[in-house]
Structure 1
Amino acid sequence: MEVKIRRRSRVVLASSLSALSLLVYAYAQMQMRLPKVNVAVEASERGAIYAGDGSVLAQTLDGKRTYPQGQLAGQLLGMMGTDKGLEGIEQTYNATLASGEDVELTIDPTMQATAEAMLAKYVPEHQAEFGSVVAIETKTGRVLVSATYPPFEPGRWREFPSEVRRNRPFTDLFEPGSTVKALTVAAALNDHLITPDTTYSTPMTRPVPYQVGKRVAYKIIHDAVEHPGVLDTRHVLRYSSNVGMSHIVERFPKQAMFNYFQGYGFGQEVPLPDVFAQTGFMRNWKAWDALVQTNISFGQGVSCTPLQLALAYNVLANDGEYLPPRLIAGRSGPRPHRVLAKSTARVTREMLQAVIEEGIPRAAGIQGYKMGGKTGTAQAVVDGRYSHELYDSVFAGFFPADAPKVTMVVMVHGAKTKYHGSQLAAPIYRDVAAEAISRWALPPAPEPDTTR
């Protein structure tokens, strides 16, 4: 018993002397400015970044940050500096990852890889400068794809210029062109200003008035695709008629149309918590004249990112409801809001299905499946002016058209050959969709009954 007491006494004494020594040293350090003693603190390992299927996109092994999938979703992931994230998810969730917590993205790695492969095929073939694909799950808003070309490998980030590191689906602003026509038509349908069968006089050119000071001037708008001189609403979309669109918005109150575009997300901040995404631009309705309104109706004078355009098209795919995007699994964002009636969204989807089946079945269609969407070929804005040499090739759509699972936007900039949306962006949409349809084993649409 005495031995145990003596041992405890020694332990207590040693502890007391140790504590006293530290106090004395600390006091001496303050008084005499002695060198500080570095006490090693064991840091927790940086958390991993996972894809939606659980595959590892980024992890720390033996103190080194590695990216097992190479360049997959590189621009979205961003990169690490010496001890912290510098761009992308690595930067945005640096505090979370540094504390040892993992981050799971909603990205579908197989679909992401397919989108990157299609961009890597088509962008160089058409001698374009860059391209992007964004896809979202229609009913949830989950971002399945955020793909950019040229590719970027986070583990070798010092070898890549800053332009290549851009997460273009979230940050690149462009004028969406004729893809917007479907959104304008849907809004006019929703307010009962037109029907799918309303007809319009559609010569290939038409003067539209605009205000110059106190004087009214006119600008001639043109159609690019030859078509009949009278078109109904369905065929205004089918032939992508600017003249037809000018008729559709003639009786559309400016503020009402503006409110619909805001509901689609144009000119609004993207409701994506934490992650940076550009806002885009849309002029206030009070500054609209007839020409501005007409131009906006077919996608000029308004800018957005590929993500914003996909969210707008998802209103059509999701029966008229706007869904905020989701990128981080398990995190919810703002509540959705209704933009269109369900019946309006479904009628518009039927018209966009016809756009593909009657107009570009080979470019954007997949035999046996109902595909829906709209092309756009927009003049790029360079130094504040529309270029006659640089174009953005765009496609916005969803599949299957009768019960959409995925909404997708493709944008390719600066192609020097075959730059029209139907020639470049639409085939990328088709090929990415084909892979998903095959992998998910989606059944083909039933053949129509022709016996009745």
Structure 2
Amino acid sequence: MPHPLFRASDFHLRRRTASLAFAALLAFALLAVALAGVIMPARPAPVPVALPLRGDLRSADGRVLAGGDLPRRVYPLGTLAAPVVGFVGASGGLEGLERVQDARLRRGEDLTLTLDTRVQAAVEGALTDALERTEAEYASAVVMDTRSGNLHAVASVPGFDANAWRAVPPGRWRNRAALDEYEPGSVVKALTVAALLNEGRTTPDTSYDTPMWRRFAGATINDLVPHPAALRTREILRYSSNVGMTRLVEGVPPELLHRYFSAYGFGQPVPLGLPAGDGLLRDPADWSPLSQATMSFGQGLTVTTLQLAAAFNVLANDGRYVTPRLLLDAPTTSRPVLAPQTAARMRELLHRVIDDGIRTKAELPGYHVGGKTGTAQVVVDGRYSASVFSSTFAGFLPAARPRFTVAVMVRGAKREYQGSQLAAPIFREISSALLSLYAVRPETSPPAAGR
């Protein structure tokens, strides 16, 4: 029986009221959604933004030296060859190849360098060890393929990590091997002798009066290494006699030596695809007898380590200058400087310089190399310093049929600063890496003399 207070009409009324309330609520919700769409339109789905393309820099042995797009550029090998590779900022390349080759890299081109990362690592390691041992300021070295001119290593230490370039002083970014100019010292004696041999102005066995000191053109020229009072040309190289060099160049027209120094590449930048120093080579009209003599043994002119390697490569490459190459797609050029017979004779003479003088410091057992050391005072505050030196070595290996030419420079060593003490052992360490990496067989005999 129905509850006395319950009536059917009440039930239907309540049901209709509830339905109307629900419909009103639904309409209000739909209106709110519509109004929200008018006042604040729906945001479109985000569209992926294409990042700027940038080509990779790779080594000749296939390693990535620089890769990734501009905002996320990375240098997987960190410090290796960082002064050559350089780095980027927010808008593009700032240093090194990243800056110079910025246009090509922005087009997405991949560029391959001639550098062999194994050789580069060995060279940087040898230089770093030498700096730590002698407390030197900095050092550079270049390894060049004798025939092609390809640069297997271009090293400047101390360097920096290209992934953290802001963390070091700007001086550490510097590609010293190509930029720094210095007086090379006695390594230039070999290039001077080669020019005079080529011109028929001396022979390897021509003898000269060579006291330990000599007054020449108003100055006193001294020798450091004790030697006999008369030296043949080959022995002038062997004992690195400054006095002997004054005898060799006495009366030689300045234009002749200038022509050869220019042909060796001095006084002009190497077209490397990177900034490069041109060095100092004065016009021959400005030479005096004294300045010509001092230039003949490496003072009064300046070179870069790259220029020094390219010049010595003339002796290794049968008398032809070949332009150093850093990018594999760069053109190669060469020109004759010396007769092939002269270059062969110089290889024999420079091998004897090593074997008769500093064999254990520059040469490995079972192999023959040729080269010349140098030790030059550095100009500080306008005067030659008595305590700051550039230690140099330039040479080639194997001596009979060279495959590699190497130049080394260390500045400001606090001990063992002589070229024979410092630069020559670095050359030997670099030679060891090259002979091992390229599986060069030991030589059974030393190089034969040129005819």
TM-score range relative to shorter protein: 0.7 to 0.9
The 8 Å contact of residues 143 and 407 in structure 2, kept in 1 or not, is answered as yes
Matches within 5 A, 1:63-82: 63-82=71-90
* Counterpart-to-counterpart distance in 1, 2:445 and 2:347: 19
Kindly report which structure 2 residues correspond to 1:52-131, keeping only aligned pairs within 5 A, or say none.
52-60=60-68, 63-131=71-139
Please name the residue that 2:375 is paired with: 377
- Per-residue CA deviations over 1:5-39 (Å, capped at 9, x if unaligned) read xxxxxxxxxxxxxxxxxxxxxxxxxxxxxxxxxx9
3-state secondary structure, aligned to 2:171: coil
Mapped partners of 2:297, 2:282: distance in 1: 15
Residues in 1 aligned to 2:401 and 2:103: alpha-carbon distance in whole angstroms:
40
Tell me, yes or no, if the aligned pair for 1:377 and 1:419 is still in contact at 8 Å.
yes
Partner of 2:57: 49
- Taking the aligned partners of 2:123 and 2:258, their CA distance within structure 1 comes to 33
Rounded Cα–Cα distance in structure 1 between residues aligned with 2:221 and 2:49: 69
SS at match of 1:256: helix
Structure 1 residues 45-444: aligned runs within 5 Å: 45-60=53-68, 63-209=71-217, 218-272=218-272, 274-333=273-332, 335-444=333-442
Residues 193 and 251 of structure 1 are in contact (CA less than 8 Å); yes or no, is this contact kept in structure 2?
A: no
User: Residue 70 of structure 2 contacts residue 88 of structure 2 at CA under 8 Å; is this kept in 1?
Assistant: no
Q: 1:73 touches 1:147 (CA, 8 Å); kept in 2? A: yes
Distance 2:77 2:180 in 1: 25
Correspondence for 2:27: none
Percent sequence identity over aligned pairs: 47
SS of the residue corresponding to residue 281 of structure 1 reads coil
Partner SS state of residue 276, structure 1 = coil
Report SS of the residue matched to 2:68. strand
Opposite residue 61 of structure 2, the aligned amino acid is: D
Q: Please list the CA deviations of residues 379-419 of structure 1 after superposition, one character each: whole Å capped at 9, or x if unmatched.
A: 01123321111000100001011111111110000001010
Q: What amino acid does structure 1 have at the position aligned with 2:254?
A: K
Question: What is the rounded CA distance, in whole Å, between the counterparts of 1:158 and 1:403 in structure 2?
Answer: 45
Q: CA deviation at 1:41?
A: 6.8
Question: 1:213 maps to which residue?
Answer: none
Q: Could you tell me which residue of structure 1 aligns to residue 25 of structure 2?
A: none
Aligned to 2:21: none
One-letter identity of the residue aligned with 2:248: I
Q: Distance in 2 between matches of 1:251 and 1:440?
A: 46
Residue deviations 1:247-292 (CA, integer Å, cap 9, x gap): 11013221111101110011123233x3210100011111111101
Alpha carbons 1:236, 1:244 under 8 Å: kept: yes
SS in 1 for 2:375: strand
Matched residue of 2:186: which SS? helix
Q: Secondary structure at the match of 2:172?
A: coil
Q: Secondary structure at the match of 2:140?
A: strand
Once residues 271 and 51 of structure 1 are traced to their aligned partners in structure 2, the CA distance between those partners, rounded to angstroms, is 19
Q: Which amino acid aligns with 2:222?
A: H
Quote the offset at 1:63 in angstroms: 4.5
- Show the counterpart of 1:22: none
Report the equivalent of 1:18.
Answer: none
Moved more, 341-350 or 42-51: 42-51
TM-score by length of structure 1 reads 0.87
SS of structure 2 residue aligned to 1:196: coil
Computing the radius of gyration from Cα coordinates, the structure with the larger value is 2
- Output the CA distance in 2 between the equivalents of 1:427 and 1:368: 16
Given that 2:52 and 2:70 are in contact with CA atoms closer than 8 Å, whether structure 1 keeps it comes out as no
Segments of 5+ residues of structure 2 without an aligned counterpart are 1-46, 447-451
Structure 1 residues 447 and 302: CA distance shift in structure 2, 3 A: closer
Instruction: Please state how far the C-alpha of 1:149 moved relative to its aligned partner.
Output: 1.1
Distance 2:269 2:78 in 1: 31
CA shift at 1:83, angstroms? Answer: 2.7
Q: 4+ residue runs of structure 1 moved beyond 6 angstroms?
A: none
Q: 1:175, 1:380 within 8 Å by CA — same for their partners in 2?
A: yes
2:243 partner amino acid: V
Q: What amino acid maps onto 1:138 in structure 2?
A: T
The answer to whether the 8 Å contact 1:127/1:416 transfers is: yes
What is the CA-CA distance between 1:336 and the residue it aligns to? 1.3
Q: CA RMSD in A?
A: 1.6
